[in-house]
Amino acid sequence: MSSLQAALAASEKLIDTEVGVSNWILVDQKMIDDFAKTTHDVQWIHVDPARAKAETPFGGSIAHGFLTLSLASRFAYDCFGMLPGQTMGINYGMNKLRFLKPVVAGSRLRGRFTLKRVSAKSETQLLRENRLTIEIEGEEKPALIADWLGMAVFED
């Protein structure tokens, strides 16, 4: 049995189960400001805490939705290692993504992964779809939910 076939068989047993929960990470104003500078998205609800506190219902500035999403890779590093025989992992995209709750500066986030589907795309590529829920500490509603596709590439 090849490494890919073994990974597929093992993964199929995990469908609809939680496969990882990351560590918490602080999203502070500096992270938000750095992201705004990098992406040239300097809308005041992100970079002007005093105005955001005075003029929005959020109580302060909020993180960009795409900043929250960009932390998905960090959360995945906490939860997943390389599979036996895997040479690399590739971000393959999203099937569904919804931003459900703004992330106020000073919040802590973590990622929770549930395996939804797995299939062999070729003799060397295993496609996995995980439901990613990015939770906000102390909040019932998550920041976002996404169906994230990742490709595990194996040796021939």
Please return the burial class of 1, using the count of CB atoms within 10 Å of its CB with bins 0-12, 13-18 and 19+. Answer: exposed
pTM: 0.94
pLDDT band at 155 (very low <50, low <70, confident <90, very high): confident
The string of pLDDT tens digits covering residues 119-135 is: 999 999 999 999 999 99
In a domain, 55, yes or no: no
In a domain, 53, yes or no: no
**Which residues, at least 6 apart from 32, have a Cβ–Cβ distance to it below 8 Å?**
46, 47, 61, 62, 63, 64, 67, 105
What is the average pLDDT score of the chain?
Answer: 96
- Residue 47 phi, psi dihedral angles, 5° rounding: -115, 0
Is 46 domain-assigned? Answer: no
Domain annotation covers residue 35: no
pLDDT at 53: 97
pLDDT of 41 reads: 97
CATH code for the domain in which residue 74 is found: 3.10.129.10
Q: Is residue 145 part of a domain?
A: yes
Instruction: Read off the pLDDT of residues 22-55 as tens digits, 9 standing for 90 and up.
Output: 999 999 999 999 999 999 999 999 999 999 999 9
Is there a domain that residue 130 lies in?
yes
Q: Is residue 141 part of a domain?
A: yes
Domain range for 140 is 3-26+63-154
pLDDT, tens only, 58-94: 999 999 999 999 999 999 999 999 999 999 999 999 9
* 54-87 burial: b if 16+ Cβ within 10 Å, else e: eeeeeebbbbbbebbbebbeebbeebbeebebbe
Total structural domains within the chain: 1
Q: State the Cα–Cα distance between residues 56 and 52, nearest whole angstrom.
A: 5
Q: Residue 1: what pLDDT?
A: 79
Q: Is residue 84 part of a domain?
A: yes
User: Residue 1 is encoded by which pair of tokens?
Assistant: 């049995």
Judged on CB neighbours under 10 Å (0-12, 13-18, 19+), 140 is exposed
